[in-house]
A and B are shown apart, each in its own frame.
Chain A
Amino acid sequence: MTVLSRRAVLAVPLLLAGASEAAAADFAGALRAILKDRSPDEGAIAFDIPPLSENGNSVDLSVRVDSPMTTEDHVTAIHILAEKNPFPLVATFSLTPRAGRAEVATRIRLATSQKIVALAETNRGVVHRATRDVIVVLGACVETG
């Protein structure tokens, strides 16, 4: 019995390491699925997220993409990815020229301090990227909310 429980305790860090590796692989996979071999360009996105959050249960973010939003040239999708979240693809917003501006805001959960990526796809096949490093004091996986 004692041996078993010790084994169980020893297995915990391994499981946790496995989980974060899986999330990282998933993050890379999610990124690849969106990029489809295109290389993103930096800039064109104003990405607002607080660099430090006390509580990972609700973190405000806003994304504004510099785009004329005409039928010929507009943003079709904005993706938010969190590198170390159990589900790295946090949200996808689908836009049309009827949006007028490529601007969205929402509130997300963050498991831990990590890198947040915003990707914007345009109808012309261009992908814009913006990356922010955020520090989270209390992760969203600790408490419900």
Chain B
Amino acid sequence: MPTLPITARITLPPSAQRGEVVTVRVLVRHPMERAVDAPGLTPLPRKILHTLRVTYAGEEVFRMALSPGIAANPYLEFTTVATETGDLVFTWEEDGGTLYQREARLVVT
């Protein structure tokens, strides 16, 4: 399935030493529509990003299962060990099967 771009801010250190634990921060723009049917609200069908997979130089290093209990514009912080210069690929899966992807390069010295 082809992936679509998505507005996201991915924060990584400008460079890291081999073996260093780096903190990755990700903020993605998404309403995380959770199908609330309350007085005064227009009911919208549920549409959330339910899975995030992160690969680093082709290998999966992190995965998150999201629920309607995650705030709109999901924010995430996690760590990974810098092994080699390579791309961190973030793939979000939305309800309905749409895939969104963003990449960030980690430079290892």
A-side residues, CB < 8 A to B, are: 57-59, 62, 82, 85-87, 89-96, 98-101, 103-110, 141-142, 144-145
Contacts and interface: CB of A to CB of B under 8 A. Distances in A.
Contacts of B78: 93, 95, 99, 103-105
Interface in B57-79: 59-72, 74-79
Contacts of A93: 62-65, 78
Contacts of B36: 141, 144
B21 A101 contact: yes
Interface of B: 21, 23, 34, 36, 38, 41, 56, 59-72, 74-81, 83
B68 A103 contact: no
A10 to B, nearest CB: 17
Contact of A91 (B56, B59, B62, B65): B65
B77 A85 contact: no
Contacts of A100: 21, 79-81
B62 A107 contact: no
Nearest to B68: A87
A74 B85 CA distance: 24
Contact of A82 (B23, B69, B72): B69
A99 B67 contact: no
A142 B38 contact: yes
B71 A59 contact: yes
Residue among B74, B79, B83 facing the most chain A CB atoms (10 A cut-off): B79
Nearest to A89: B67
A99 B62 contact: yes
B21 A107 contact: no
A106 B74 contact: yes
A2 B78 CA distance: 56
Given A98-B80, A103-B78, A86 B62 contact: no
Given A91-B66, A94-B64, A95-B62, A141 B72 contact: no
A141 B66 CA distance: 18
Contacts of B72: 57-58, 145
